[in-house]
Amino acid sequence: MPEIWVLRLGHRKSRDKRVSTHVGLVARAFGASGIIFSGEYDNQLLESLKKVVEKWGGPFQIIHEQNWKRVIKEKKNLGYLIVHLTMYGLNLPMIINEIRHKFYEERKNLLVIIGAEKVPGVVYELADYNVAIGNQPHSEVAALAVFLDWLFEGRELEREFKNAKLKIIPCKKGKKILKLSDNL
């Protein structure tokens, strides 16, 4: 299957740590290969997400890259389809089949861009698709989850992670966690 990378623009250490953490959690759980954070370097954020991968499995890569424009251009040069999630783009139901076709049939890797602070206008120009999850202000966490869910048509929820030390056993009531490794 082709790769999906998420580019989180403009992380601000003091303001965005919880939201950026949740973006990373959603990216991993919903099928992305990795996440690239731009903006302020935040070792605590990177280490926190690496610990999740260590316990709950992967593969999933976490990277910081200050120059987000270079990331977009490099991925574009590698043939990636650039998808920017925004409330100003084409509505998801109008465009998802075309993106899905390029991902599954043409085997195109994806770079999914989500903002933190105001997204520079050049991102709209660099993107192959500006996709609106809704035409109202919304969370980048929700936008990423909805986009990946629509792309995978719900199959991402059945994903098994390699090298997991913990696994949740679905149950009607209570919590069941299976310990797969003694190295916790």
Cβ neighbors of 98 (< 8 A, separation 6 or more) are: none
State the pTM of this model.
0.94
One-letter identity of residue 49:
L
Question: Could you tell me where the beta strands, DSSP code E, fall in the chain?
Answer: 4-11, 34-39, 61-64, 81-91, 110-114, 129-132, 166-168, 177-179
Q: Is the separation of the CB atoms in 27 and 6 below 8 Å?
A: yes
Contact 85, 113 (CB under 8 A): yes
CATH number of 4-179: 3.40.1280.10
Please calculate the CA angle 85-88-90 and round it to the nearest 5 degrees: 75
pLDDT at 175: 93
How confident is the model at residue 138, as a pLDDT? 85
pLDDT at 118: 85
Dig out the tokens for 109 from the structure: 């890797």
Please tell me whether the peptide bond between 59 and the residue prior to it is cis, using omega within 30 degrees of 0: yes
Look at residue 135 in the predicted model and tell me its pLDDT. 86
pLDDT at 74: 97
Please write the tens of the pLDDT for every residue from 25-51. 999 999 999 999 999 999 999 999 999
161, 115 in Cβ contact below 8 A? Answer: no
Q: How many CA atoms lie within 13 A of 92 on its CB side?
A: 18
In this prediction, residue 119 carries a pLDDT of: 92
Residue 184, pLDDT > 80, answer no
Average pLDDT for residues 3-17, to the nearest whole number? 92
The yes-or-no verdict on residue 99 having pLDDT over 90 is yes
pLDDT over 90 (residue 14)? no
pLDDT of 68 > 90? The answer is: yes
| Residue carrying the six token digits 């999906």 | 4
CA angle at 159 for the pair 157 and 164, rounded to the nearest 5°: 120
pLDDT for position 95:
97
| pLDDT score of 123 | 96
Q: Contact 132/89 with Cβ under 8 angstroms? A: yes
110-141 confidence digits (pLDDT tens) = 999 999 778 999 999 999 999 999 888 889 99
